[in-house]
Chains A and B, each alone.
Chain A
């Protein structure tokens, strides 16, 4: 499996570390429902069988976080962007 790093190009997945689903967003800790929201954020996952956006860190490369879209049924990579939202 190779991942298309927006900076470094197509690189072996070995160079990256995996965090997981890129969809959950850190909730507001001061909101009244923060305990529930953090339980969701930390523990609950959609775990989709199909295309999924996920966070990878190019640890043996440019050391940027990237969001890769990948089909979990086939490992086919559908695209990648910088997690910061910057253009490469």
Chain B
């Protein structure tokens, strides 16, 4: 377990025909019991296991994944990381995530290609400018960076945009320079490798099919590879959350919806950071391979199908053409869908539950990739201490009952509008 990745290991392996590399994590079989089981080998589940081992010394941990790790939303998202939220319950959490991103590669000894290339949200009206000014101030109050750009500054940052569109001329933008992108698969692999090195079992092709209950408490899970017991079971399965909690007769403020993303053929460098359109749902960045990675709205109806329909494809492409008319000449390579755990207020849940031994991490909507480090960090804390950390104290399950919802968009209990 001592093989650290470094320039020296790279050079050493270059002289030995690259034969010295070992698998980045063990292909573990499930043991009969663990201290903690984390269900779901996406970014959040793996990060949770890593921080359980690293921060809390709880190393007798298994991550149970039904397919291969990163085969869910972790490997399907558009990789944008940012901490540009407005509300007090959200912004400190996302800023903590940003700080963890900034140290992630050194921490887990894996190149996650965290690239702070800037996230620019455009505004096209006075009202939108005022809203972004308020948000920029709120971000600063939480220690994040934010800049309000005027028309000319946006022109300098992104000269290739359709600045003088007749209907939606660009008036300016909210820029977070520390925002950007990360390589989604590498984030998964990096956490998996680092957790494995601390003794965590990463068990793939192991679907959880039910829960073992004793005196009302959850004391383990049934899986396709047999029963596995544990003192604590944490759920981190994103869009599949309700499929699992159904076994516990637990109804949640969650609906599963499909979100589509797109990638174009490779182009020469065009888009330096992440740009979001303010007058239609469209956002774009450019991958290091040159493809434009872009997306827009969720389809807007419940779905577990992992593929969307044509109206959203049309809508995203129309909004894209309004902002970047030159992409009309570009060929699209692929589009794909992932299943979002849309919550009733658009914000996540990281909490203990009324069922002893059962802990919940869900409600990530279309924005959980950026949250991966802080979600794992806070969920590990909550699992270890049986209580939320201050950073996820607002992400309570009972906030819908008590009226403490965290509704960034202010659209109410209508998940397809968040």
Contacts and interface: CB of A to CB of B under 8 A. Distances in A.
Contacts of B400: 39, 42-43
Contact of A72 (B246, B254, B303): B303
A44 B309 contact: no
A19 B301 CA distance: 8
A21 B305 CA distance: 17
A49 B252 CA distance: 14
Nearest to A75: B305
B415 A20 contact: yes
B401 interface: yes
B416 interface: yes
A18 to B, nearest CB: 5
A87 interface: no
Given A45-B252, A45-B254, A72 B305 contact: yes
B413 interface: yes
A18 B312 CA distance: 14
Interface in B298-323: 300-305, 309, 311
B134 interface: no
A73 B413 CA distance: 23
Interface residues of B, number: 24
A73 B304 contact: yes
Contacts of A43: 253, 344, 400-401, 413
B242 interface: yes
Contacts of A40: 251
Contact of B251 (A14, A19, A45): A45
Given A13-B311, A18-B416, A20-B414, A46 B251 contact: yes
Interface string A67-78: 000101111000
Contacts of B301: 13, 18, 54, 70
Nearest to A15: B311
Nearest to A45: B255
Nearest to A49: B304
Given A43-B400, A75-B309, A54 B302 contact: yes
Interface string B369-383: 000000000000000
Nearest to A76: B305
B302 A21 contact: yes
Interface in A51-88: 52, 54, 70, 72-75
B347 interface: no
Contacts of A74: 305
A73 B239 CA distance: 12
A47 B302 contact: yes
A13 B256 contact: no
A47 B311 contact: no
A73 B305 contact: yes
A12 interface: yes
B385 interface: no
Given A39-B400, A39-B401, A43-B413, A20 B305 contact: no
A1 interface: yes
A48 B252 CA distance: 11
A47 B416 contact: no
Contacts of A73: 304-305
Nearest to B412: A42
Contacts of B401: 39, 43
A11 to B, nearest CB: 12
10 contacts: A12-B311, A21-B255, A44-B251, A45-B252, A46-B242, A49-B256, A72-B256, A72-B302, A72-B305, A73-B304
